[in-house]
Amino acid sequence: MNPVPQLMVLHGLGATTDQFSGMFDAHFQNSPIAMNMPGHGERPRENGRASFDRFAALALDTLDQLKVESVTLAGISMGAGIAIKMALQRPDLVNGLILLRPAWMDEPNPKNLKIIHDIGVWLSQGTKLDAIDRLNKDRFYHDLTLTNPAAAKSILGAITRSNSRKNAPVLTQMVEDTPLASLADLAAIGAKTLVVATPDDPLHPREIAQAWADQIPSATLCELPSKYVAPAAFQSGLNAALDTFLRP
């Protein structure tokens, strides 16, 4: 019998490990290794600058402390970028990658994350109510409340989450960073990889997932229904994709 692989989950920017509740239950018998990055949930931000390098180092240190010898990494958005960093730095350790809705390429300040950067600035300059007022006046956000209210609610959560003002610099610093010096770096990844793209997701454009899948030699691109618009269909499609991806 093939051993069940160890899973580590890596959450998105402004989120927590709660993002993964029930997501992989059908495929990983053991509870995943999960950690909130600094400036997320109740974990305070660090004095130094938040970055993909720093967050990847923290995750790798956790795996080393647990004496994990082989791991599959599952990351959402920012977490996908952290997973890429880890796989490039420790190919001996990372045997699989599940990259859900990546949002970064090889340039800082991606256009798709401008609203998140703006929120970080607004929170640093005033109160939560001030930031919500400025968000409601933003044309992009206003249009999104009409076309994709679930996505708009997710963006609002960057303001309403606990400790959002204390941790506002993490939003701006991570958007100003990038997980890749060059997109071509992805060609060095040898781990078996599943890249998940969804439509109707302005923060995580399909084109980024496509670009990642094109560059990673062993990657499979899977296009699923929108997590925002059809969450049940998204989970059903992910289950089917994982059935194939995890097959020995």
161-185 pLDDT per residue, tens:
999 999 999 999 999 999 999 999 9
Q: Which residues pair with 197 in a beta bridge?
A: 223
The pLDDT value given to residue 30: 79
Cα 52 versus chain centre, distance = 11
Q: What is the mean pLDDT of residues 181-199?
A: 97
Query: In this structure, are residues 4 and 31 in contact, taking their beta carbons and an 8 Å threshold?
Result: no
**What pLDDT is stored for residue 5 in this prediction?**
65
What are 3-16's pLDDT values in tens digits?
Answer: 456 999 999 999 99
For helices 168-175 and 114-125, angle between their N-to-C axes, nearest 10 degrees: 150
Tokens at residue 230, please?
A: 């059809």
Residue 204 has pLDDT above 50, yes or no: yes
**Domains of the chain in sequence order:** 7-108+178-245 (3.40.50.1820), 111-171 (no CATH)
pTM: 0.96
- Walk across the sheet containing 94-100 and list its strands: 33-34, 7-10, 71-76, 94-100, 192-197, 219-223
What is the mean pLDDT of the segment spanning 29-49?
93
Q: Which two tokens stand for residue 75?
A: 């990351």
| Residue 1, pLDDT score | 33
How would you label 120-159 residue by residue, b for 16+ Cβ within 10 Å and e otherwise? Answer: bebbeeeeeeebbebbeebeebeebeeebeebbebbbebb
Summarize pLDDT for 45-96 with one digit per residue, the tens. Answer: 999 999 999 999 999 999 999 999 999 999 999 999 999 999 999 999 999 9
Q: What is the DSSP letter of 43?
A: B
* pLDDT at residue number 2: 41
Indicate the SS3 state at residue 227. coil
Quote the percentage of the chain above a pLDDT of 70. Answer: 98
Share of the chain above pLDDT 90, in %: 92
